[in-house]
Structure 1
């Protein structure tokens, strides 16, 4: 497991919460937003729970495409070995200046999803249950004095 060192976790959470997310199913990109329900996605892909995870840019530190692709291949191998269903997904800055691929997972419990993301150095995942708003789940301790944002939860360091 990697140790994540983030200078300003509250600022990072705000950036993640404002990001645009999408899942690709049957060639359609279905948008997701933190704090909003995802009925279109849930209609396409019925499940009890959903988690969006990436292996790219651990600790939000830019890595080379080769390093990111290798990390993604390792994540896919773990998902395949565990029999966890996945759909192609991505996250991007609202202005489009940054974009990174990831995977929407179904059939995985939250503890296992958190551990998987932490093993790949990720600071957060998106997670929600069917019919619920999409939540940003920070895998870091809640920063002292930071305001609590709606639909953002802090799981603490894993």
Structure 2
């Protein structure tokens, strides 16, 4: 499977790829699965005072593949922004099930949703993941929903309306 890019695939195809993707986060050398549509009890146990969790990346803005050096520089900038925000964050990644596409990211804990969305916009991310304590994970897409793309765990955010 070749991961589609925004320049070559309609939004609905990208969303289907995001929904089928695998997501993981790391703590103390162990990797843990994340699933859209399911809560995150392991994170809730590890961070009992946290109310929200989000997975964010700076790689491949607008789902257009960039060089590794460009992606790594964007990732370093995102890390600096997360340190400045003063919230805990853990290594994470997203990938196609066959690993034909993979990108690192960060699982952020208790970053307010407006700041999370602002960072997503800043780094040109079409899709991010978001959990509220005891609730199923949601895919947040910064685009207008196409008529042929509806899913109960997808939030559609008109890109122009975001900060």
TM-score, normalised via structure 1 length = 0.91
1:55-70 correspondence runs (5 A): 55-70=58-73
Is 2:93 the counterpart of 1:90?
yes
1:48 aligns to what? 51
Corresponding position of 1:37: 39
Alignment match, 1:20:
22
Q: Which runs of 5+ in 1 are unaligned?
A: none
Q: CA deviation at 1:117?
A: 0.7
Q: Which of 86, 103, 109 pairs up with 1:106? A: 109
1:138–1:155 Cα contact (<8 Å) kept: yes
Unaligned runs of 5+ residues in structure 2 are 1-5
The structural deviation recorded for 1:41 is 2.7
Partner of 2:138: 135
Partner of 1:72: 75
Offset of 1:26 from its aligned partner? 1.3
Per-residue Cα deviation, 1:67-114 (whole angstroms, up to 9, x for no partner): 000000011111111212211000000111111100011121111101
Structure 1, 21-30 or 41-50: larger mean CA deviation: 41-50
- Cα shift at 1:42: 2.1
Larger CA deviation: 146-155 vs 22-31: 146-155
Q: Give deviations 1:5-37, integer Å, cap 9, x for gaps.
A: 665111111111111000101111110111122
Q: How many aligned residue pairs are there?
A: 153
Contact kept, 8 Å, 2:57 with 2:106, in 1: the verdict is yes
What is the alpha-carbon distance in structure 1 between the residues aligned to residue 85 and residue 51 of structure 2?
Answer: 18
Distance in 2 between residues matched to 1:34 and 1:41, nearest whole Å: 14
Moved over 3 A (4+): none
Aligned alpha-carbon RMSD (Å): 1.3
Kindly provide the CA deviation profile for residues 47-78 of structure 1, in whole angstroms up to 9, marking residues without a partner as x. Answer: 10011000001111111111000000011111
